[in-house]
Chain A
Amino acid sequence: MAEKDPRIGRTTQPVTMRVEFGKIREFAAAIKDDNPIYFDEDYARREAGGVMPPPTFTMTQAFWDSHSNRIELGMDLRRVLHGGQEFEYVQPVHAGDTLTARSSITDVFKKPGKRGGEMTFAVLETQFSNQRGEIVLYSRSTIIETAKPVEKKD
């Protein structure tokens, strides 16, 4: 049996992010979502207790981080793909909340590539808690390092 990949269990320092109304609006516009729950504070207060971020908004957390706090996976950026993403919503999040994210590598495994070589898969789980210490969300990213640069199609 293969030894456990040494990257499994690597964690980040906690990262704090403010959930800002302006950033929510900008993000919603970028995904072409005109839902008033992202834009209209009165409507959102009635419908959801306040403006909520779009379901994928917390992905922005990774970029609030300083580079020194990244988990080192030793992957070649030219060959890295985002394979999949999963969110579990535990408690509502609203504009004005302060979230603390804690990330760790929960799995690393290899599979043969379609054109030879090996593909590496890594699962990064991030747990978000709010300013009251309640867990509000889990996010799980599957990162793939392809075996070699993708060949240009003719």
Chain B
Amino acid sequence: MAERRKLDYAAVREGDELPKFEVKNLTRTDIVRYAGASGDFNPIHHDQTFASGAGYPTVFAHGMLNAGFVSKCLTDYVGRPNLRKFSVNFRTQVWPGDTITCGGKVTRKFEERGEQCIEGELFAVNQRGEVAITGSFVAALS
């Protein structure tokens, strides 16, 4: 497989944007696949009868599935081994048929315990521009 380009601390600037990652037209099958992979079978994510009974129009994606999409966007940029902190807040549900765009930007460069670190913000938005996730990260690039 192709080698991935390494992020160079010296070349990173505060305000740099992460390349976006888009998931088009999320399906119920995508949601069920995540249920199986994660072991999270809360019926609200796959059982229409249960979801309707709880007052939701349909089933919806696990917050952690959307967080996984954001983590893919993040680790493509910083490199998986470099990740030190990753946090997300769930703002609105993601529904079948939604298109999710993940992105973020670098907000700070700093050195800590001999490591050259970057800190930044993350987001996931749907096709209506509604925010599904806000988040943050720290990565060590040295």
A residues engaging B (CB < 8 A)?
23, 26-27, 29-33, 35-37, 40, 43, 47-49, 52, 54-56, 59-60, 62-64, 77-79, 81-89, 92, 149-153
Q: Is B87 interfacial (CB 8 A cutoff)?
A: yes
24 contacts between A and B (CB under 8 A): A23-B37, A26-B36, A29-B37, A30-B65, A31-B72, A32-B72, A33-B75, A35-B80, A37-B81, A47-B81, A49-B81, A54-B72, A55-B83, A56-B64, A63-B39, A77-B42, A78-B44, A82-B63, A89-B85, A150-B54, A152-B55, A152-B56, A152-B57, A153-B57
Measured between beta carbons, the chain A residues less than 8 angstroms from B44 are: 77-78
Whether B85 and A59, one on each chain, are in contact in the complex, defined by CB atoms closer than 8 angstroms, is: no
Measured between beta carbons, the chain B residues less than 8 angstroms from A87 are: 85-87
Given contacts A29-B33, A47-B81, A55-B83, whether A35 and B75 have CB atoms under 8 Å apart is yes
Whether B40 and A59, one on each chain, are in contact in the complex, defined by CB atoms closer than 8 angstroms, is: yes
Smallest CB-CB separation from A36: which chain B residue? Answer: B1
Distance between A75 CB and nearest chain B CB, rounded to angstroms: 12
Instruction: Give the distance in Å from the alpha carbon of A35 to the alpha carbon of B67 in the complex.
Output: 16
Whether B38 and A63, one on each chain, are in contact in the complex, defined by CB atoms closer than 8 angstroms, is: yes
For chain B, give the interface size range: 35 or more
Measured between beta carbons, the chain A residues less than 8 angstroms from B33 are: 29-30
Measured between beta carbons, the chain B residues less than 8 angstroms from A35 are: 4, 72, 75-76, 80
Whether A27 and B38, one on each chain, are in contact in the complex, defined by CB atoms closer than 8 angstroms, is: yes
Smallest CB-CB separation from B85: which chain A residue? Answer: A88
Instruction: Give the distance in Å from the alpha carbon of A151 to the alpha carbon of B62 in the complex.
Output: 19
Smallest CB-CB separation from B63: which chain A residue? Answer: A82
Given contacts A87-B87, A150-B56, whether A31 and B71 have CB atoms under 8 Å apart is yes
Instruction: Give the distance in Å from the alpha carbon of A62 to the alpha carbon of B40 in the complex.
Output: 8
Q: Is B106 interfacial (CB 8 A cutoff)?
A: no
Whether B68 and A62, one on each chain, are in contact in the complex, defined by CB atoms closer than 8 angstroms, is: no
Measured between beta carbons, the chain A residues less than 8 angstroms from B71 are: 31, 33, 54-56
> Among the listed B4, B23, B39, B62, which residue makes an inter-chain contact with A32, where contact means beta carbons less than 8 Å apart?
B23
Distance between A130 CB and nearest chain B CB, rounded to angstroms: 16
Whether B1 and A40, one on each chain, are in contact in the complex, defined by CB atoms closer than 8 angstroms, is: yes
Whether B67 and A63, one on each chain, are in contact in the complex, defined by CB atoms closer than 8 angstroms, is: no
A sample of 11 more A-B contacts (CB under 8 A), given A55-B80, A63-B38, is A30-B37, A30-B68, A31-B68, A33-B68, A33-B71, A37-B81, A54-B72, A62-B40, A82-B90, A88-B85, A89-B86
